[in-house]
Chain A
């Protein structure tokens, strides 16, 4: 196994040292990821879903808040490790983590390991040093990791240029003399220079034109075949991911929502978010019937409770994560608008706790009628467990407790993080 990551979590604290309102940005939350040898794993998701952060964590450019990342571990030892995790065998866990876990090994050893992993960044206009010639740019990682130096390194640069389809005399040019596609080839040559086993491709073609994008994609494909590389391809472009990947990981708001073979995820998505995502991709030659979705990805400081996708999900039901704030907001909106005749501005809606609301100035029957009428249109009302009469014109509402979905394994082997695939709710589909 090239990479096996367990429970990877990364949080950033925003705000400076003296800032009074510090906020915790939860960029990646408890992600498990595995990348085999010679495999391309596509990681898709919208901006802010944490895909770039995950890639930076996997190659040790950033420190994890929590979690284990085992790099280049043999399958036998990986099995041993997973057995030990199940049994809770501390000794074995410690031994294997001490050898392979890039979050725990000493820096000096990590530096040597760096030779085997590298990254291609999104924007070839800002990822190449404008004051270095192409040869120096490509040589730098070899020298930094101590892989090659001097004449040998120069020779390797010329080989690499040929490999990525650039003429040899480009070696003494500066990045500003090159076009976008040529720059990205230089960036790929740099990533290849230390003969790595694993490359993270962070949106490698999103800054390029369509015709150059196709050249780069085909180059990446043939390099993988020749060099036996493992790729982690990060992209928001589903078609690009589908073209290169063997398996796909779909992320939403810092969590994995679906993991499976490429064919499964693209042709027959199971998680509601994946369904929405696939139907949102415009296709040439046909006008899509879209699965409607409202709103935009959540802000990572204030994540929705339960399943992060539930406020936008077209299939959400009562246990998906509704809390009192959401229900109160929907109720207020109805009372001020559509049901203005009942009491207008006199009605007060208070949130008492995460699952409890108190409504003043409204009779029990009226509230029951509103909820009954709107339960089909307003999804959050489905989570209402009971309505209690407190006095003549005060009612309290209690919500059902939500369940946070885990990754459930389906019959075809893929993992989906949606309550619809929980044993308890399987017949709701």
Chain B
């Protein structure tokens, strides 16, 4: 399997007025193509910080002291780590982060996108839902929108009739359609046609009518050359006034694309929903909109940061089913963060357990749940009440203070099996069979 992303020995601190918080202390993690990786941990375990680092959304007081995040065989946080850097210099760090931010602009949102926990705060309350989805495409992939408009402008009724005859011919219409559209130079039309054709709540006559009406779109003549330019270069027009004029046209197209993605995400009445504001939607709908923004650019990696925590159980169940269905539709890899192991068990292939800024155990979900190795994972599983459980045993003590971490293994003060070596040495990651990894001396060579 191909690795899409690799985090190597990442160490990150937050410098605040109340002290230096050791948020990540040497995280190692791999994400393979097409998988859903679950990341579990309590608050303060660093799971959200890790997502911010991968998503390129670090705040200005984040101080990366070591490690790499490798995406497409390039270390994307190279600028932040300097050899022999032992002192935190505020100005220099902020400058490096700012530079990194600019560099990541092309990756963030289009190649790696994030869906946040609380959709009420993640969405802008004064903008229509459709606008917010459209904006994500407009800034990252304006060529997609320009091509869609131009395809409708160029297509004639006869082209459409031919497309309809291909579609009606049931057998492998997908390939034939693509070939036809490529031949006619109408890229951008296929997704619009297929979206209408594959709806099953419409009568064929209505579908035909809708598909025929796609042809011969009227586009203002002044805009045409610019649309061609954007379609070719995927860069936005920078001329004043004119750029706003083009933006209006492209955003309007973005609304159409938003309707398509919302209906894939099973939002009822997407045509109306795109003109609504976030406060008019229920919690589940808002979360679907946030997911739509995350998926619209077909990113390679989608980071889902506690996407179901703010939702009710029945709605959570719907969103979990949705995540399972979109992973088949999109070729993306997902990282799903949650504090709830049973939620992760439902959606992910592998689960990583984090404790005090370190990944302490990684393995397939079945191994983690049925054969947990790390003492923390074991105690965590025993502490979760379930419908069947008659007894739960809490983990003694509290999550360690991130400003003042215990020496050696971070878990040793709460660990029932703590040995002398645990108090002084940090356990390395031991590779066991089936890709199961655990950071605990119990599984090392006998000493």
Specify the chain A residue showing the minimal Cβ separation from B398: A179
Report the Cα distance A182→B397, complex, angstroms.
Answer: 11
Report the Cα distance A337→B202, complex, angstroms.
Answer: 4
Of A141-149, A234-242, A407-415, the stretch lying at the interface with chain B is A234-242
Which of A239, A290, A297 has a CB less than 8 Å from the CB of B384?
A: A239
B239 part of interface (Cβ distance < 8 Å): no
Contacts A242-B387, A243-B392, A338-B201 aside, 5 further interface pairs with beta carbons under 8 A come to A211-B399, A214-B394, A283-B342, A293-B317, A341-B205
B313 part of interface (Cβ distance < 8 Å): yes
Report the Cα distance A215→B383, complex, angstroms.
Answer: 9
> Are B386 and A239 closer than 8 Å at their CB atoms?
yes
> Are B398 and A181 closer than 8 Å at their CB atoms?
yes
Min C-beta distance of B299 to chain A, whole Å: 26
Q: How large is the interface on A (under 10, 10 to 19, 20 to 34, 35 or more residues)?
A: 35 or more
A47 part of interface (Cβ distance < 8 Å): yes
B224 part of interface (Cβ distance < 8 Å): no
Per DSSP, chain B at the interface is helix
Specify the chain A residue showing the minimal Cβ separation from B202: A337
Q: Please, which residues of chain A bring their CB within 8 A of the CB of B339?
A: 209-210
> Are A211 and B345 closer than 8 Å at their CB atoms?
no
Report the Cα distance A340→B209, complex, angstroms.
Answer: 10
Given contacts A282-B320, A296-B284, contact A211 B394 (CB under 8 A): yes
- A residues engaging B (CB < 8 A)? 46-47, 179-182, 209-215, 217-218, 236, 238-240, 242-243, 266, 276-285, 287-288, 290, 293, 296-297, 333, 336-341, 344
User: What is the interface size of chain B, counting residues whose CB is below 8 A from a CB of the partner?
Assistant: 48
Min C-beta distance of B380 to chain A, whole Å: 6
> Are B203 and A214 closer than 8 Å at their CB atoms?
no
B442 part of interface (Cβ distance < 8 Å): no
> Are A280 and B385 closer than 8 Å at their CB atoms?
no
Report the Cα distance A280→B199, complex, angstroms.
Answer: 28
Min C-beta distance of A239 to chain B, whole Å: 4
* Binary CB contact string for chain B from 197 to 220 against chain A (1 if under 8 A, 0 otherwise): 001011111100100000000000
Given contacts A210-B383, A338-B202, contact A46 B370 (CB under 8 A): no
Which of B379, B389, B392 has a CB less than 8 Å from the CB of A218?
A: B392
Q: Please, which residues of chain A bring their CB within 8 A of the CB of B340?
A: 210, 282
> Are A238 and B203 closer than 8 Å at their CB atoms?
no
Specify the chain A residue showing the minimal Cβ separation from B315: A296
Min C-beta distance of A130 to chain B, whole Å: 16
Q: Please, which residues of chain A bring their CB within 8 A of the CB of B389?
A: 239, 243
Specify the chain B residue showing the minimal Cβ separation from A218: B394
> Are A280 and B341 closer than 8 Å at their CB atoms?
no
Interface residues of B in 302-355 (CB under 8 A from A): 312-318, 320-321, 339-343, 345-346
Report the Cα distance A336→B346, complex, angstroms.
Answer: 37
Q: Which of B339, B369, B392 has the most CB of A within 10 A?
A: B392
Report the Cα distance A336→B201, complex, angstroms.
Answer: 9
Specify the chain A residue showing the minimal Cβ separation from B320: A282
Q: Please, which residues of chain B bring their CB within 8 A of the CB of A296?
A: 282-285, 312, 314-315
> Are B383 and A283 closer than 8 Å at their CB atoms?
no
> Are B383 and A280 closer than 8 Å at their CB atoms?
no
Report the Cα distance A340→B318, complex, angstroms.
Answer: 30
Specify the chain A residue showing the minimal Cβ separation from B45: A209
B260 part of interface (Cβ distance < 8 Å): no
Given contacts A211-B395, A238-B387, contact A282 B342 (CB under 8 A): yes
Report the Cα distance A372→B434, complex, angstroms.
Answer: 55
Report the Cα distance A339→B203, complex, angstroms.
Answer: 6
> Are B42 and A209 closer than 8 Å at their CB atoms?
yes
Q: Please, which residues of chain A bring their CB within 8 A of the CB of B58?
A: none
Report the Cα distance A213→B201, complex, angstroms.
Answer: 46
Min C-beta distance of A242 to chain B, whole Å: 5
> Are A285 and B370 closer than 8 Å at their CB atoms?
yes
14 CB contacts below 8 A, A to B, read: A46-B314, A213-B383, A214-B384, A214-B385, A236-B313, A240-B385, A242-B387, A277-B313, A282-B320, A283-B345, A290-B321, A296-B315, A340-B206, A341-B205
